[in-house]
Amino acid sequence: MTTSTQPTATPGGSAGPAAVSETTGTTLTATSDRRSRLKRTNPGFWVVMVLLALAFIGPLVWMLITSFKTGVEARSVPPTFFPQDPTISAFQTLFSDQTNPVLLWLANSLMAATGHAVLVVVICSMAGYALARMEFPFKKLIFGMIIATLFIPGFIFLMPNFLILNQLGWLDTLWSLIVPGAAGAFGVFFMRQFFSTIPIALEESARIDGASSWRIFFSIVLPNARPALVTLGVLSFLTNWNDFIWPIYVLFSPERLTLPVGLSKLQGSYTIDYAVMMAGAAIAAVPVLIIYIFVQRFVIEGVASSGIKG
């Protein structure tokens, strides 16, 4: 049996609004698909994509290739692309130097970045939900003041944060890398934007069933905000992982250093062993690449959803 949908006729003999809307939607979808196919078959599109891929992947490939060169070949002019005599001596030098505990620096960076990311997600998710859903005095003023801090250069907070950590006795500890910046304005704004896109009907239904605000937040809101939570966690992890200036101010002992700061000590006073430096940079890039491979879907979805509603 074959069924067909006929436009709804109006007294004037024309199709009804529902039929017109359905026809318009079908036409727009067909037009969008046609444009998408044309874009994918356009050689210029793929040329641009390849150039962008080379711009981002090229430095990583060069870093990895240089790490397998000898120190002399890494400094040769003109440079060679492929190693003439591939060797792992740079990695051996990196891990055999007792004065530069690379593995300990790597562990410090992992603990600091992970702890900071978890703390940012916890604090910013609660603050963002309060600003998105709850009503309290001066709500808009408080949100505006939080956004205004985004325009303040980060270097201004170096000395106040240093003095606060000194009073707390957290200098030269990993706490000095985990706690500061955990309630950043970007994280609060990011989560507030995402929570605003979640249908409020879900929360109202749970409230009618007798659920408390905390139960609604943990059982309904947070599961639906998983892409935003993962995205914020990854961005916070990367920010802390790549931070170089702040650890120099608050960490003094060699065994307390993080990987970016520790790797900077590998270069000599007069010469730089580029092979060893690139080997250290390759080690620093591995955790970040692994994390992004597993969470890239959530990152794309979280960034796309957080800008839907203002």
Pair (64, 140) in one structural domain: no
Pair (178, 284) in one structural domain: yes
Lowest mean pLDDT across 93-102, 112-121, 179-188? 93-102
Residue 19 belongs to some domain of the structure: no
Pair (46, 117) in one structural domain: no
Final residue in a domain of this structure, among 92, 120, 142 = 92
Q: What is the structure's pLDDT at 9? A: 47
CATH code of the domain containing 242: 1.10.3720.10
High-pLDDT (> 90) share of the chain, %: 29
State the average pLDDT over residues 275-286. 86
Pair (186, 262) in one structural domain: yes
Of the pLDDT bands very low, low, confident and very high (cuts 50, 70, 90), residue 288 is confident
Instruction: Please say if the pLDDT value at position 193 is more than 50.
Output: yes
Pair (41, 168) in one structural domain: no
Non-local (6+) Cβ contacts of 174 within 8 A are 108, 111, 112, 115, 256
Residue 24 belongs to some domain of the structure: no
- Number of domains comprising the chain: 2
State the average pLDDT over residues 280-291. 86
State the average pLDDT over residues 109-132. 94
More confident residue, 47 or 5: 47
pLDDT digits (tens, 9 = 90+) for 44-101: 878 888 888 888 888 888 888 888 888 788 888 788 888 888 888 888 888 887 777 8
Residue 79 belongs to some domain of the structure: yes
Residue 6 belongs to some domain of the structure: no
Pair (81, 175) in one structural domain: no
More confident residue, 46 or 7: 46
Instruction: Please say if the pLDDT value at position 16 is more than 90.
Output: no
Q: What is the structure's pLDDT at 117? A: 95
Domain around 74: 33-92
State the average pLDDT over residues 246-273. 82
Pair (109, 253) in one structural domain: yes
Mean pLDDT, the chain, integer: 81
Pair (76, 203) in one structural domain: no
High-pLDDT (> 70) share of the chain, %: 81
Rounded CA gap, 160 and 178, in Å?
16
Rounded CA gap, 121 and 84, in Å?
47
Residue 4 belongs to some domain of the structure: no
Of the pLDDT bands very low, low, confident and very high (cuts 50, 70, 90), residue 263 is confident
Q: What is the structure's pLDDT at 297? A: 73
pLDDT digits (tens, 9 = 90+) for 30-55: 555 566 565 667 778 788 888 888 88
Pair (63, 119) in one structural domain: no
Residue 5 belongs to some domain of the structure: no
Pair (168, 203) in one structural domain: yes
Instruction: Please say if the pLDDT value at position 4 is more than 50.
Output: no
Rounded CA gap, 231 and 71, in Å?
39
Of the pLDDT bands very low, low, confident and very high (cuts 50, 70, 90), residue 304 is low
Residue 27 belongs to some domain of the structure: no
Q: What is the structure's pLDDT at 29? A: 53
| Prediction pTM value | 0.77
Lowest mean pLDDT across 26-40, 190-204, 231-245? 26-40
Pair (270, 148) in one structural domain: yes
Residue 220 belongs to some domain of the structure: yes
Pair (140, 47) in one structural domain: no
Q: What is the structure's pLDDT at 55? A: 87
Q: What is the structure's pLDDT at 56? A: 83
Segments in 169-217 forming alpha helices (H): 175-178, 185-197, 200-208, 213-216
**Do residues 270 and 75 lie in contact, with contact meaning Cβ atoms separated by under 8 Å?**
no
Q: What is the structure's pLDDT at 27? A: 53
